[in-house]
Amino acid sequence: MWSREVEAAAGLGQINMEAIFHERQEGSLCAQHCLNNLLQGEYFSPVELSSIAQQLDEEERIRMAEGGVSSEEYRTFLQQPSGNMDDSGYFSIQVISNALKVWGLELILFNSPEYQRLGIDPINERSFICNYKEHWFTVRKLGKQWFNLNSLLMGPELISDTYLALFLAQLQQEGYSIFVVKGDLPDCEADQLLQMIQVQQMQRPKLIGEETAQSRDDRGQKTDLEQALDVNHPYDGTGMLDEDEENFQRALALSKQEIDMEDEEADLRRAIQLSMQGGHRSEFSDSVSQNTPHSSGISQSESLSSEELRRRRQTYFEKQQQQSQQGQTPDLHDKPTTSSNALGTDPE
């Protein structure tokens, strides 16, 4: 039950956060975003702010002309670019101040001696405008809570009451100029809604581009193995070709391994077959010796060992050599059994 209430409160807080008007940064139009986030609506456009800047330039020109249009100061003033705006979209504090006068609002420097003597607690104010170099942003109280409405953020940032003074002090240390907005701000939906229900923010909004940069860094991070492979095989534009060749070589190795295994199996089968054929031959010779009449020499050769057969061959060769010397013809009946006779084959 408690978790459901937390989820419901978080969901309701998200809805209330979405009710806050927040313009994100576009180009260098931070002064426009600062004013619209302060007033919680699209109250000013670049054209309207440019018109205010041109009006200020004209007022300054008239004041400079009072000293004489032929003076060196006046000619120098005409040659200088506008100090109230530029082509990038930047607008000066004078433009912002004149724009707020339309709504009866006034800017007072926060760290000025006049304001510091008042001893006003920042929590009791309604809004601040902060400037550093050429960037402007608003810190405003909506309902009973403070929000940083910086256009460089992805969304409004919740600031607690205890942290507000520290936040402003930190900005001052970083070189920001802080202005207190005095006067009654126009009514807005977010202020009315947050008067009834406070919001809860679980995570601080990221800066614009921070999430994209983080995802890019995550994609750029590689494991130690991938980095080692990159060192051994740096990418030179032929990575895909090297990968295809590597796959081809791997396939050749597997194919060769399969062929070697098949050759070994074939040799094994051939050896088994020859062994079986040798067994059949011995059986066949036994059957022939039993059914076919042979001389006593042939029958005895069946049981002769290889050593005995070698000795008989040697005796036969010696005997034949003696007969050739004596001029006698060898007797066919004395011819010993050959290897073919031992297998039971017909000599003819």
Active-site option among 30, 33, 34, 341: 30
pLDDT score recorded for residue 210: 80
What's the pLDDT tens digit per position in 185-238? Answer: 999 999 999 999 989 898 899 998 886 666 665 565 555 555 554 544 444 444
Residue 188 is among the residues annotated as catalytic for this protein: no
CATH architecture of 1-21+29-44+90-208: Alpha-Beta Complex (3.90)
Active-site option among 16, 84, 131, 150: 150
Active-site option among 16, 135, 148, 341: 135
CB 57 within 8 A of CB 65: no
Of the segments 180-194, 232-246, 272-286, which one has the largest average pLDDT value? Answer: 180-194
Contacts 24+ apart (CB under 8 A), 136-140: 136/30, 136/31, 136/33, 136/34, 136/96, 137/30, 137/33, 137/34, 137/37, 138/34, 138/35, 138/37, 138/38, 139/164, 139/167, 139/168, 140/37, 140/38, 140/185
Residue 148 is among the residues annotated as catalytic for this protein: no
Distance (Å, rounded) from C-alpha 33 to C-alpha 22? 8
Residue ranges of the domains in the chain? Answer: 1-21+29-44+90-208
Residue 84 is among the residues annotated as catalytic for this protein: no
pTM of the model: 0.58
| Chain Cα centroid distance, residue 218 | 4
What's the pLDDT tens digit per position in 62-114? Answer: 888 887 888 888 888 888 888 888 888 889 999 999 999 999 999 999 989 98
